[in-house]
Amino acid sequence: MPRAGAGRVDPPAVAFHHATKRFGSSIAVNDVSVAVEEGSFVTVIGSSGCGKTTLLKMVNALVMPDEGSVFVQGRATSELDPVELRRSVGYAIQGSVLFPHLTVEQNIAFVPSLLNKHDRRRTDAAVKKWMDLVDLPSTMRARYPAELSGGQAQRVGIARALAASPDILLMDEPFSAVDAITRSSLQDELKRIHERTGITVLFVTHDIDEAFYLGDRVLVMEAGRAVQYASPHDILSAPAVPFVDRLVAKRRAAYLS
Ligand SMILES: Nc1ncnc2c1ncn2[C@@H]1O[C@H](COP(=O)(O)OP(=O)(O)OP(=O)(O)O)[C@@H](O)[C@H]1O
């Protein structure tokens, strides 16, 4: 979208340009060209092993494409310092990746305290804000990860990723290890955070209902290829290939009625 008066078009938050990644003789990501607009929520879905995680890891340069390019805010990841890149790109993954020897507060404060040059007040304010946003009671501040439930640990992981104030948040099945009720409330909270902050989210999931609920665009992958990238409505009403048709067949009646 051109910005009013600026006369220029902002680059997408993330753009894959013919991105390909091989592991030995197999192709994990095959010639993917997709642009993720700033502020959008993109869910990535597909069968196990179809390249979702590899695609995500290309955004924060944990994986570099063998062919093609990945651009973050208009700059190729190959040209960016990975440390600088990861400052603007948060990463939250399945299960708990919290520092076990740090409290909840210290886990969430980890990046803000570096960025705020150890300014205690600003860091405290950031911790409080993000704990509130993910609905973690302040009584949890002094607990260690081993003293948390799975759902609480996931909330801390999300708060920690968000507290670094990334422009882009990568999430790889972040809710897969929790029960259905916690999952549903985490989904609602994430949706709310996305609406409030305008952050760009790329979210990998196996759960098609989660993909449709959260995503304003859904990227369907099949064997390394991006086979459809469209709104949930368009995916349901006009599946681009037989694989997508099979994927959504059972949901169509429920969603489009
Ligand atoms: N470091 C690696 N070394 C070798 N092969 C890899 C590596 N990482 C991924 N692969 C392979 O690349 C393919 C894509 O893997 P990827 O993890 O991206 O898929 P995925 O869609 O995220 O899978 P899942 O849904 O099971 O997590 C798979 O065949 C996988 O075995």
Domain ranges of the chain: 14-256
Q: Is the CB of 28 under 6 A from ligand 1?
A: yes
CA of 173 from ligand 1 middle (Å) equals: 14
pLDDT value, residue 163: 83
Which positions ≥6 away from 238 have C-beta within 8 Å?
230
pLDDT value, residue 154: 85
Record the tokens describing residue 117, joined without a space.
């040059």
Q: Is the CB of 30 under 6 A from ligand 1?
A: no
pTM flag (> 0.80): yes
Confidence bin at 10 (pLDDT 50/70/90): confident
**Nearest atom (ligand 1) to Cα of 54:** 18
Of 213, 203, 121, the closest CA to residue 161 belongs to 203
**Nearest atom (ligand 1) to Cα of 55:** 18
- Lowest mean pLDDT segment, chosen from 82-96, 182-196, 212-226: 82-96
Is the predicted pLDDT of residue 1 greater than 80, yes or no?
no
CA of 124 from ligand 1 middle (Å) equals: 38
* 147 DSSP 8-state letter: G
Beta strand extents in 116-159 (DSSP E only)? none
Instruction: Calculate what percentage of the chain has a pLDDT beyond 90.
Output: 56
Q: Which CATH superfamily, name and number, covers 14-256?
A: P-loop containing nucleotide triphosphate hydrolases (3.40.50.300)
